Amino acid sequence: MLYTILGNTGKRVSRIGFGGVPAGVKNYVEEYDPQNSDDYDCGLRAVKRAFELGINYFDTAPGYGDGMSERIIGEALDGIQRDRLFLATKVRYAEEPNVFKSLEESLKRLRMDSVDLLQVHGDYYTPELTDELLKDGGMVSQMVRAKEQGLTCHLGITGECQNPEFYRMIDTGMFDVVQVQYNLMFEHPYDPFFKCGSMEYCKRKNMGIVTMRTLTSGIFQKWIQMVNPQNTFDYAPALIQFVLSNPFVNTALLGMRSVEQVEKSVAVCMDEKNRISLDDLHRRKVN
């Protein structure tokens, strides 16, 4: 496995991370039910295989299948030496504004005393929501207290938008890691031509940068089927390579729930010869 240092956290993390959504959510992208014992076991085996192949970054949230993702990851990693793992979970304001209550339940499911990263589970930040999150006694101040109490080592923010409120959250200086939506179809966080975007911004602050929706959540594949219904090409390796070619990306999260998916993803990660130069890709003139 290839590793990198996650911004100013100093933590050594794998270039690809285990995204916990598919393992915990029923019928996510394809038919699957973690309440079914066979599917649950499939998720367990995927997590264990990921660790065996060197993946140490595991990302989950209580909202992924009402805690099922955390349960699967917690059971699969139970007993493994703590410093060999980087565990990230989240708190979503709409689901549980009490950070300590949410985190306590997450830790029980994860079978851990603490997590490495606790994140605001966000997508689109309105001015009103940002005010609520940042007010005295609000979610962010509770997260800071949780860090002070040793329940988490680092704090992070996740977002699927690039609006001013997302930058406002980043500018608080309270977060060590940012998790952004970034892929071939959503390149907004990184513009190698104009040298701008939230990833460029966070890199200058030495924040850790983690990407989600690496495979476009199936949107790219859906579009290809619309314009070329007979197409049978597997674009997953190329989509992964696109994200891993970004020099600012510490860890690219990949949603996995089978041993086969894990092994294929790790093989692509290790295939460095097929990385591309994003600068060359975006160059508009022939030199």
The whole-number mean pLDDT for each consecutive block of 10 residues of the chain, a chain of 287 residues, reads 97 97 81 82 95 98 92 95 95 79 95 97 93 92 96 96 95 97 94 91 97 92 90 91 97 95 97 94 75
Q: Which residues contact 122 (CB under 8 A, 6 or more apart)?
A: 92, 129, 157, 158, 159, 160, 169
The pairing of beta strand 12-14 with beta strand 3-5: antiparallel
Distance, in Å, from the CA atom of 38 to the CA atom of 285, rounded to the nearest integer, reads 54
Torsional class of 7: left (φ above 0), alpha (ψ -120 to 50), beta (otherwise): left
- % helix, strand, coil for the chain, step of 5: 40, 20, 40
Q: Tell me how many degrees the CA angle 108-122-64 measures, rounded to the nearest 5.
A: 40
Is 28 part of a structural domain of the chain? Answer: yes
Closest CA to 209 of 186, 235, 230, 182: 182
Is 99 part of a structural domain of the chain? Answer: yes
Q: How many CA atoms lie within 13 Å of 258's alpha carbon, on the beta-carbon side?
A: 9
- Two structure tokens written together for 216: 């476009």
pLDDT of residue 31: 80
Which CATH number covers residue 113? 3.20.20.100
H or E element that contains 76 = helix 68-77
Residue by residue, DSSP assigns 7-75 as GGG--EEESEEEE-HHHHSTTSSSS--TTSHHHHHHHHHHHHHHHHTT--EEE--TTTTTTHHHHHHHH
pLDDT of residue 145: 96
Residue by residue, DSSP assigns 159-190 as ES--SHHHHHHHTTS--SEEEEE-BTTB-TT-
pLDDT of residue 287: 61
Range of the domain at 250: 3-282
Is 287 part of a structural domain of the chain? Answer: no
Q: What single-letter amino acid sits at 162?
A: Q
Catalytic residues: 64
Closest CA to 89 of 109, 75, 10, 76: 109
pLDDT of residue 286: 67
Q: Check if the beta carbon of residue 117 is closer than 8 Å to that of residue 86.
A: yes
Over its C-alpha atoms, the chain yields an Rg (Å, rounded) of 18
Q: How far is CA 123 from CA 25, 157, 210, 271, 282, in A?
A: 18, 10, 14, 31, 27
Is 92 part of a structural domain of the chain? Answer: yes
Question: How many domains are there within the chain?
Answer: 1
pLDDT of residue 92: 86
User: Which pTM does this prediction carry?
Assistant: 0.93
Is 266 part of a structural domain of the chain? Answer: yes
